[in-house]
Every structure is written in C-alpha cells, then in structure tokens.
Amino acid sequence: MIDQNPGDAKQNVVDKGVTLSSECLVNELVYADDTLLIDVDDDVISQFMESVGEAGLEYGLRFNWSKLEALSINADASIQKPDSTFVKVKESMVYLGSLLSADGRVSSELGRRLGMARQDFNTLSRIWSHASMRIRRKLEILDSCVVSKLLYGLHTAYLNKAELRRLDGFYARCLRRVLRIQPAYYSRVSNETVLNRARRSKLSTRLQRQQLLYLGSVARRDDDDPVRCCVFQPGGVALRKKGKMKQGRPRKSWSDETLKTAIEAAGSLEVFQSMMAPTPRAEEAWRSKVRRYHNNL
C-alpha cells in the first residue's frame, strides 16, 4: 500500500520503457492518499512504486517507507525499495477499511466485521434494556447503527452458505435480545418466528437483494467501465471469461452465483438483459422484479 497519488507516475514509468501488465484490468486504485498498485511482475511494481515516489516529490510529498506493504496472491513477491531492502509481504492488509486476504476469501473480513458489530451491539445495551422505549424504535436503531455497518460493501463479495448462516445467526441473536426472547433451547421459539415478530428478513436475504441490484447497476454501465469489464463481456450480459483455473473443485464466484440468481428472478436471461438498458424505466422494472422475487421466497 502506497501513500501517494500516482497521477503522473504511470506516465513516467511508461516513458522509462516499463510495460505494465495487460493481464490486470487496472494497475492502480487511488483513494485520497491511499494507493494500491497492481501487477504480475514484482520488478514492474518496484519501478512503478519508485515513479510514484518521484512524482510525489514534485509536490513536496515523501514516502513513509515503513508503511509500505505487499500482498502476494499465488506467487512469491520480492519488491525492492531504493535502500535495497524489501517491502514486507503480508497474508492480509486493510485497504479502505476492508481486510484483503492473499487467498481471495472473505471469511476473515466477515469475522472481523461480526466482531465489530457485536461490540457495537453491546455498547448500545442500555437501549435494548430501556423499558420505556418502543420495540419499533429499538429495531430502527439496531438496523441503523449495527446492521448497516455490518453489511456495508459486503454485496460485492461472495459468501458461502456457512458464512451466510453466521450472518443470520448473529442477527437472530440481536433480535432475541431486543425482543426479550430467550434462545431457542429454552424458549422453543424458532429464528423464523423471531424474524416474523420483528417484521424483518434474514440478513442473507437483504444481502442477496443488494447483490442483484448492484449487478444490474454494473450491467448498465459503459463497456469501458473497469468494474463492468471485471464482470461482463462488452455488448451484453455474458460473463467475462476467466483465466486458467487450478485443478480440483472450482470455487464459486460472485459473478457466476449472482447472475444465476438474477436469471432466476427475471425468469430468463433474455428478460434480464432487456432490463439492463441504461434508462430509469428499466432500472425501476428491475427493482420491482427483485422485490417480487424476494417476497415470493
């Protein structure tokens, strides 16, 4: 992770004759003073990194070399600094508030978020036990202060069944505390009954709804949009072809599973594609279709 803006650095490194990998749809992600450089060649990354540092000096900015981190995915990285030492390689790193893992899985990030959500819920314990506050108001606070933070950005990740059960289980425990219903072992009240009393849906259902709406927004973007290029082929809703996969059972992906659900919600691939026109009418039609799909589950 690099703390400078590579606005001029990319051109500088190209002028030096360095070729950035075309295998990567983007070579840098920039937000404020946080920069993530991406490539398949550690020598290229080293030169790109030095160019970012040189570009920063023109504006009076200097690297904090001790904060540089490398995340190596299915490879051994050796990114050298100007002092001949190497950037520390980590198994995971936090970028823009999310935990990125070298194995590409989201389980560590989910565990971290559930821990923070549990802490936030416990911090508000005086509200949950407040006798004069209406249940409806408590549920609104729960969704606003705990659930919204927990689910933020998770719609862009694929969660397997076990991870979705962790989400739903956490929410059910929170609702039981708010509604003052003991665990099912003592009360014989199921989680489904708890959700019905609270007039809430599972977090996994909410997350799926967000995924479907996000898939629609990505499909409506221009063909040269980087996010759309990561998901779809140009000119339609056919998924982008993946590279060579490792031997063994294939890992399910966000795009495959979300598109499969989208086709099921729309009724057919053709209907889904017809709703991906970049118009407000098509967007509203897709929202209505997703709403009806989850109401019928």
| Weakest mean pLDDT among 66-75, 181-190, 221-230, 277-286 | 66-75
Identify the pLDDT of residue 69: 85
112 in a structural domain: yes
Mean pLDDT (whole number) for 34-46: 81
For residues 114 and 170, membership in a common domain is answered with yes
User: Does the pLDDT at position 4 exceed 50?
Assistant: no
pLDDT confidence of 226, banded at 50, 70, 90? confident
Distance CA 98, CA 154 (A): 10
Q: Yes or no: say if 259 and 227 are a contact pair by the CB < 8 Å rule.
A: no
Q: Measuring CA to CA, which residue among 262, 201, 200, 210 is closest to residue 237?
A: 262
Q: Is the confidence at residue 235, as pLDDT, over 80?
A: yes
Query: Is residue 36, in this structure, part of any structural domain at all?
Result: yes
Is the pLDDT at 241 greater than 90? The verdict is: no
- 2 part of a folded domain: no
Q: Are residues 161 and 238 in the same domain?
A: no
Pairing status of strand 88-90 against strand 92-95: unpaired
pTM value is 0.84
- Read off the pLDDT of each residue in 70-94 and give the average, rounded to a whole number: 82
Would 236 be classed as within a structural domain?
Answer: yes
Nearest to 207 by CA among 282, 241, 257: 257
What pLDDT score was predicted for residue 252?
Answer: 82
Considering the domain architecture, whether residues 21 and 74 belong to the same structural domain is answered as yes
CA angle 167, 171, 172 (to 5 degrees): 115
Domain's final residue, options 200, 233, 255: 200
Query: 193 and 241 share a domain?
Result: no
Q: Would 76 be classed as within a structural domain?
A: yes
| Predicted confidence (pLDDT) per residue in 244-268, tens digit | 666 655 578 899 999 999 999 999 9
Q: Do 114 and 183 belong to one domain? A: yes
Answer yes or no: is 3 within a domain.
no
Instruction: Report whether 5 contacts 30 (CB < 8 A).
Output: yes
Question: Rounded mean pLDDT of the chain?
Answer: 86
Q: What is the C-alpha separation between 254 and 242, in angstroms, rounded?
A: 13
C-alpha 39/C-alpha 41 separation (Å) is 6
Whether 44 and 22 share a structural domain = yes
Shared domain check, 86 and 144:
no
Per-residue pLDDT at 227 exceeds 70? yes
**120 and 47, same structural domain?**
no
Q: What is the mean pLDDT of residues 91-117?
A: 87
Is residue 4 a part of any domain in this protein?
A: no
Helix (H, G, I), strand (E, B) or coil at 101: strand
**Residue-range definition of the domain harbouring residue 14:** 9-101
The residues with which 101 forms a beta bridge, in sequence order, are 92
Tell me how many domains the chain contains: 3
**What is the chain's Cα-based Rg?**
23
